[in-house]
Amino acid sequence: MAKKRIVSTTINGTQKDFLCEPRQTLLEVLRDSLDMTGTKEGCSNGNCGACTVHLDGRPVVSCLVLAVEADGATVETIEGVACNGQLHPLQDSFLNNAALQCGICTPGFIMQAKSLLAENPNPSEHDIRFYLAGNLCRCTGYDKIVRAVQDAAGKMSGCCSEAKV
């Protein structure tokens, strides 16, 4: 077994150091070592998007990122999206638009959609569908997810810029 490495990160705004094997993925460490099971595992080969997190502000599928690559980086996960018990507008709009059924893909969709709205606060339907195409949902047929993102975009465009990212 390869020697374990120390990795220093900032996860959801908190300094977090952990030990991991070089072969471990960020997804594995988040779920199994740090007990942050909000990030979901659907395929472990980058095809479904359920494990999407932000690494230095960029959306990544955490099953394709080695945990050691997160050294010195900031990581944001679904657990950090709601702030002080206040849901993010995307979380609110997913609930209000019934945009989830089983809910297993929801954390990944919210992380990906959050990136989209940070890049493009007024996306068209096509923009949304294009940006979310790497996230699979098997329950909803995507209709209500797309509407939820449109709804959140509309609500966030009136907010302070902090709420957008």
Partner 1 sequence: MSTTEANPGKKYTVIGTRPIRHDGVDKVTGRAKYGGDIRLTGMLFGVMLRSPHAHANIKSIDYSAALALPGVHAVVTVDDFPDAENKIAELGEGAINLQHLRHNVLAGPKALYRGHAVAAVAADTVNIAEDACKLIKVEYEVLKPVLTAPEAMKPDAPLLHNNVYTNSLGEETKQLSNVAKHFRFEKGDLEAGFKAAKVIVEREFNTATVHQGYIEPHNGTAMWNSDGKVTVWCSTQGSFTARQQVAELCHIPVGNVKVIPMEIGGGFGGKVSVYLEPVAAILSKKTGRPVKIIMNRADCFEGTGPTPGSYIRVKMGADANGKITAAEAYMAYEAGGYPGSPIGAGAMCVFACYDVPNGKVDGFDVCVNKPHTNAYRAPGATNAAMATETVIDEICEQLKMCSMEFRLKNAAVEGTRRIDGPVYPRIGMIESVEAIKNSDHWKTPLTGKNRGRGIATGFWFNCGLKSAVTATVNFDGSVGLVEGSTDIGGSRTGIAMQFAETLGIPVDQVMPSVGDTDSVGYTDVTGGSRVTFATGWAAYEAGLDIARQMCQRAATLWEVPADQVKYENGGVSGPGGKQISFKDLVVQTCKHGEPIVGRGSADPQCPGGAFATHCVDVEVDPDTGKVTVLRYTASQDVGTAIHPAYVEGQIQGGAVQGIGWGLNEEYFYDQSGVMRNSTFLDYRMPTCLDLPMIEAIIVEVPNPGHPYGVRGVGEVPIVPPPAALANAIYNAVGVRMTQLPMSPPRVLHEILAKK
Q: How far is the CB of 10 from partner 1 (least distance, A)?
A: 18
Q: Which is nearer to partner 1, 9 or 97 (CB)?
A: 97
Cβ proximity to partner 1: between 8 and 37 the closer is 37
Tell me the sheet residues that pair with 25.
Answer: 66
Q: Which residue has tokens 């490495």? A: 5
**Nearest distance in Å: CB 41, partner 1:** 6
Nearer to partner 1, 32 or 56 (CB): 32
Nearest to partner 1 of 9, 25 (CB atom): 25
Q: Smallest gap, in angstroms, from Cβ of residue 11 to partner 1?
A: 13
Could you list the residues that contact partner 1 (CB under 8 A)?
A: 23, 31, 35-45, 47-48, 50, 77-79, 81-82, 87, 91, 94-98, 100-107, 110, 125, 128-130, 132-147
